[in-house]
Amino acid sequence: MRGMPSAAWFAALAFAFSTVVAEPGPDGEHLSPEELTNECERFEHGDPARAIDLALRAEAALVSEPDPAILHRALGCRAWALTSKGRTAEARALLEPMKGLSEQLLEPSDQVTALRRMAAIYHRIGDVSSTTDFLGRALRIAERHDLRTLRIGLLANMGVLHSEGGQHDLAKQYYYRALELWEPGDDPGQQLPIRYNLGLTYRGAGNLDSASEVLGGLIDSLEEPGMEVRLASLLLTLGIIEQQRGELDAAEAYFSRSAMLHEELANPSEYSSLLSSQAGLYLARGQVDQALERSEQALKMARKSDHQFTIRDALRIRSNALVAAGRHAEAIPLERERAELTEQYLRDQQRSRLNELEAELGVALRERELVALRRDRDLQRVELERQVQRQQIGMVLVIGFVVLVLGLVLWQRGHNRHLHRLSRTDLLTGLPNRRRMTEWLGQADKDGRITVMLLDLDHFKQINDNYGHDLGDRALIALAGCLRRFALEHAAQAGRWGGEEFLLLIRVSEADKAAKLAGVLLEQIAGVEIARASGPPLQFTASLGFSPLKSTKRHSGQELWEPALLIADQMMYRAKHAGRSRYCGAWPTSPDVALHPRRLEEQVRMGECRVLDGAVGG
């Protein structure tokens, strides 16, 4: 719910870091290096292949008459265009000469522009640490020299980074700081990236209404010649937001307008993201045939872009469409390919970080040597100090290498544990998720003393509709805290099964005791209060169904625990139909009786099953 789809972030990056937009221009014949670079920057989004060619020609022209500022821009344009084509390794290789050129720039404004450009490329290839570092350097220089216009852009970039990291309140502070620096004489069009990303931040925070209002207000400003790339990105993002709001017709209209623009643009990565979003919309509507067609087009376009993130997203939506069509055998190899791409991405990130650490260590050593040489002019003292320094550096290198290797090993282990924990944890509530609960069910299915309790928050849709999704999320979090405390008190396992449903595995083998515990839990839930900005605090109730894990009859192909879960689910809905804020459980009247989910009512009538129910305070 809180994550942002890749298509929306694609649009965000195009706004956050671009400075020019492709528009018709000369063919580039007989142009100076600066003019070739200008042309490259005009086409780096709409026609990356053409931009790469222009950048190479500019670089070749600068061999005889080097200009650090123009050469830095040409390399930056080529690196950005390479990332648009999915060639991130080549783009990363260009960053090293760009760093050297940035150190040759004398004007503070040129230094800030160069650092910001490198931060944009690092962000594009997924290196958040380097992005933050280079933006921070640029912002400090801009503040020190009072470069107001550049500070506005840098504050907006910082907002994008914090929004991407889930720090939405801090991101909004950066955007509003940027807008406060605006002066009446400034170009209004330069506010567009800030307001665009402010809208995305509202979306990331779950405030979809505000996001739709802010972003929708930008459409008129972008319906100008030469703004097609940004308008296409904006329409794609608005379509995704409207789809999440449940306004499927509005989402389809935005996607259609974006598709018309993309047919004239050469950006396969973002076009693939649009097609994937359309396929997702068709799946939401149950139009499986249309979803299959769009997902197939999205995957073809993604492979054409050769961009890993785009391919992974297209594989996901294609697999979902195939599963919806019942073509599971075709979906399996796609899921396997997506898993392999994810694993390769993680390996590349680890390798990249190791290379950066080694480079930083080398720079630090060179700086120490230069400081020592400038401090001592006496050759004898310099030689003596260099000998001492060599010994110290040797020791530092040995110790540093050992620490580095040990740190990498510990980091790898911790990272793997973190990934394992994340894959089994519900991000909103912090409780174990469905995967982890399924593992516990499999481990507990031989224990005859386990009772399965399935719990559902009452009137959750009304809470969301009346008070907003933010309060709905807070209700889920509060309910999770109550379950966590109950589980600790009674040595139980609690987790989020999905949506507003939660699952408990509790060690109890007697029907009356299980019913008593169910009543205690519902009373604790009824006592939870959630403060609101105005009005009385919100209170809510839940309905609960339970069944013993053993003493159930399963069909061929079912897990041992599935019948118990189905019975608990039936009992939970029985409690809801009886008025909510109640519990209802099924229990065999004899150890020889096996409860059957499909024959439960018959078994009740025959006296083989006992139904225990009650209400809070009853």
Alpha helices by DSSP H, 424-510: 434-444, 460-467, 469-489
pLDDT of 551 strictly over 80: no
Residue 494 included in any domain? yes
Last residue of a domain, one of 368, 399, 423: 423
Rounded CA-CA distance 388/392 in Å is 6
Question: Is the same domain home to 350 and 388?
Answer: yes
Could you tell me the two tokens for 511?
């029907």
Give phi and psi for 454, each to the nearest 5.
-115, 125
Identify which of 59-63, 102-106, 225-229, 480-484 has the greatest average pLDDT.
Answer: 480-484
Long-range contacts of 332-338 (CB under 8 A, 24+ apart): 338/312
Residue 517 neighbours by CB under 8 Å, 6+ apart: 490, 506, 508
Place of tokens 């997902």: 295
Strands 542-548 and 582-588: parallel
The pTM (predicted TM-score) of the whole model is: 0.41
Residue 595 per-residue DSSP state: B
pLDDT of 114 strictly over 70: yes
Could you tell me the two tokens for 274?
């649009």
Rounded CA-CA distance 311/6 in Å is 11
Question: Is the same domain home to 374 and 501?
Answer: no
Distances (CA, A) of 475 to 410, 519, 535, 609: 38, 20, 16, 35
What is the total count of domains within the chain?
A: 2
Question: Is the same domain home to 505 and 582?
Answer: yes
Percent of the chain beyond pLDDT 90?
Answer: 35
Residue 365 included in any domain? yes
What is the span of the domain harbouring residue 373?
346-423
Check if the beta carbon of residue 44 is closer than 8 Å to that of residue 265: no
Distinct helix (H) and strand (E) counts, the chain:
25, 8
pLDDT of 427 strictly over 50: yes
Residue 473 neighbours by CB under 8 Å, 6+ apart: 1, 206, 428
Question: Is the same domain home to 373 and 410?
Answer: yes
More confident of the two residues 390 and 509:
509
CATH code: domain of residue 583:
3.30.70.270
Place of tokens 């009373």: 523
Question: Is the same domain home to 440 and 391?
Answer: no
pLDDT of 332 strictly over 60: yes
Question: Is the same domain home to 489 and 395?
Answer: no
Question: Is the same domain home to 396 and 516?
Answer: no
Residue 64 included in any domain? no
The 3 state secondary structure assigned to 319-369 is HHHHHHCCCHHHHHHHHHHHHHHHHHHHHHHHHHHHHHHHHHHHHHHHHHH
pLDDT tens for residues 564-600? 999 999 999 999 999 999 999 999 999 888 899 989 9
pLDDT tens for residues 135-182? 999 999 999 999 888 888 888 888 888 888 888 888 888 888 888 887
Tell me how long the chain is.
Answer: 618
Residue 552 per-residue DSSP state: B
pLDDT of 17 strictly over 50: no
Rounded CA-CA distance 566/440 in Å is 17
Rounded CA-CA distance 233/215 in Å is 11
pLDDT of 2 strictly over 80: no
Q: Which pLDDT score, from 0 to 100, does residue 256 have?
A: 85
Q: How confident is residue 558, by pLDDT bands cut at 50, 70 and 90? A: confident
Helix or strand holding residue 555 (H, E) = none
Rounded CA-CA distance 39/28 in Å is 7
Residue 14 included in any domain? no
Percent of the chain beyond pLDDT 70?
Answer: 86
pLDDT of 12 strictly over 90: no
Question: Is the same domain home to 464 and 566?
Answer: yes
Neighbours of 387 (CB within 10 A): 10
pLDDT of 410 strictly over 50: yes
Residue 224 included in any domain? no
pLDDT of 326 strictly over 60: yes
Q: Which pLDDT score, from 0 to 100, does residue 348 have?
A: 67
Residue 292 included in any domain? no
Q: Which pLDDT score, from 0 to 100, does residue 254 have?
A: 85
Question: Is the same domain home to 488 and 354?
Answer: no
Rounded CA-CA distance 143/151 in Å is 7
HSE-CB of 565 using CA atoms within 13 angstroms: 19
pLDDT of 4 strictly over 90: no
Q: Which pLDDT score, from 0 to 100, does residue 503 have?
A: 96
Question: Is the same domain home to 606 and 535?
Answer: yes
Last residue of a domain, one of 390, 423, 456: 423
Could you tell me the two tokens for 542?
């839940």
Identify which of 210-219, 294-303, 561-570 has the greatest average pLDDT.
Answer: 561-570
Residue 337 included in any domain? no
Question: Is the same domain home to 514 and 555?
Answer: yes
pLDDT tens for residues 243-292? 888 888 888 888 888 888 877 777 787 888 888 888 888 888 888 898 89
Residue 252 included in any domain? no
pLDDT of 390 strictly over 80: no
pLDDT of 394 strictly over 90: no
Q: Which pLDDT score, from 0 to 100, does residue 586 have?
A: 95
pLDDT of 43 strictly over 70: yes
Could you tell me the two tokens for 75?
């390399």
pLDDT tens for residues 453-496? 999 999 999 999 999 999 999 999 999 999 999 999 998 999 99
Rounded mean pLDDT of the chain?
83
pLDDT of 312 strictly over 80: yes
Question: Is the same domain home to 453 and 385?
Answer: no
Q: How confident is residue 557, by pLDDT bands cut at 50, 70 and 90? A: low
